Structure 1
Amino acid sequence: MADDFDTDAALAGLSKEELEELAQDIDPDNDLLPARDRMPNQTSKKPSGKYDRSHLTNYLVDSAKASTVGSDYVTYEKKTRGRVYEPKRKPKATSDDMDEIEKLLLGMSESDLGELAEVLDTDSIPVSTRKSSTSKQRFGSSRAVVTYSYTAGANGEEEESVDDILERIQDNDSTLTEVNVNHRRLDSETRQQLVRSLPFNKHIKKLLLANTQMDDNDARVLANHLEKNETIRIVNLESNRLTGAGVRDIMRALVKNDTVEELRLENQYNPLGTRTEMDVACFLEKNTHLLKLGLSIKGGGARQKVDTYLLRNNDSARQRRRLSSHS
């Protein structure tokens, strides 16, 4: 029955008003046609004119400003909530405080100074006396040994001047086996005189130049001397102004040196960097006599190589001592 229904005949019998009412409810089946072709124009209002985008935009803006919706909104203001952070100010030490500290240190015994240096984790407690002592501590995984130097002032002995030390070096004093100018602010000329005078003395075994403001120029001169030196066993260059170039000069010189067993290069003013650490490991590979290296190595690869070479050198030294004891 439904198949016999004639749609065209039914539509032809409708009036114009009935067709417009039907068109509002029924959409053609062809979805590919645009909306303007599928639906008749249902706007009875006459066009007001051509489309003007700027005029429409201005109208919308003016309407939004005139609207009362949202008139109770609060304007945003940037404010700091809670309590304002104030960094803590550390009290500055006055000259009177420093005098009291120095008096306390001068009255302490040698063992008490050593314990204090270990607790403070510092490499020295400078007091205006000359006697010194050391205490050793493992440093990281590189098996480097850090030595805490401190001076004991129980007997009030005066510190030897740098001029006297220079004179004894140049005179090849046989009693001078240790040159200790740690924590003395030496100028460039004095440092150069000290380093250049070292070849005149054939008895020095310890060269302690920590915190003396040594730079790469001083390290280069010292490296030239260490290549030929046959007596110095311990070199301390901690807390100076060496860069990677100065450290490389020292390590390169020790490749040709068979006597230096301990080298301390920790706490330089400038960071050394990964390249310098790898160069230190490469120079240490060619050095078979250095037993202790005071240097913080951050790179994992370089640190592992340094550990391996230091362990190799210590094993070789132990074997040499065993052979000498049996001979």
Structure 2
Amino acid sequence: MTTPAKLYGKDLSEYDEVDVDELLAKLSPEEIKILAKEVDPDDSFLPPSQRCNYDCEKEATGPLNRKQLIDHINKQAIEAPDEPELKPYVPGTIRGKKVVGASPPPLKEQEASEQITIDLGDEYEQALTDATQEEIIDLAAILGFHSMMNQDQYHASLLNKGQPLGLGWDGITKASKQKIYPQEPPNTTDIDATIKQVQQDDPKLVDLNWNNIKNISEEKFDSLFEGIENNTHLETLSLTNVGLTDRSAQKLADALEKNSTLRVVNVETNFISPTGIVQV
């Protein structure tokens, strides 16, 4: 058990209810000045101006001339003589105490300090014991141990010297090339024509896709959502990356409350806040 910390014979918990302001009010200006000097310079909770409280009682001799002060300091440093060494340097002599006859540590202690035993368990020990050299190389590369190789081993691994094809740096640890996918063709859907189809409840329009169409005005969205309210054939509505905002999302939410046929609505990658997403 640890002994609780005490201050002036009392436990620190007894000082929790002490009114510090009341104690400071009882101090005289001289006592406050003395207390201000007793500051812990390592207390990070105090500002530096208080941790380095410089108090000079001498009166100023005049305005500060920084250049003159630096020149004076440099002059004093150049003119001040070096302190002579207590013991002059003599080439070939050994200074200090030389330890003679120090015995090396016992052999058992050397072996214990040089060997580190890691218990991996019987399953991992058996797997590493039965692993081939190629599998050990791949495992070392996966774990990032290739940084421990010397220069010859590193270049040998790069050139796969002594390794069958498909192992080493060309094995499972080698990064696959990036697959380049063709860009999606631009969306050529006619906005005005599809809005009319939605408003006229065209039975042929079941899937409406406006994905990636730029610069759609708020009026176009309002017209579309007004038509969705009474539409009975539209089942899928895709509005990905079309610049939807919370205002348009609110209009869409109102339209969905009145529509009974829409099953899928996609509004990904838009300017909709989490609150607007919940409404939709």
TM-score normalized by structure 1? 0.32
Greater relative contact order, per chain length (Cα 8 Å cut-off, separation 6+): 1
More strand by share: 1
Q: Whose radius of gyration is greater, 1 or 2? A: 1
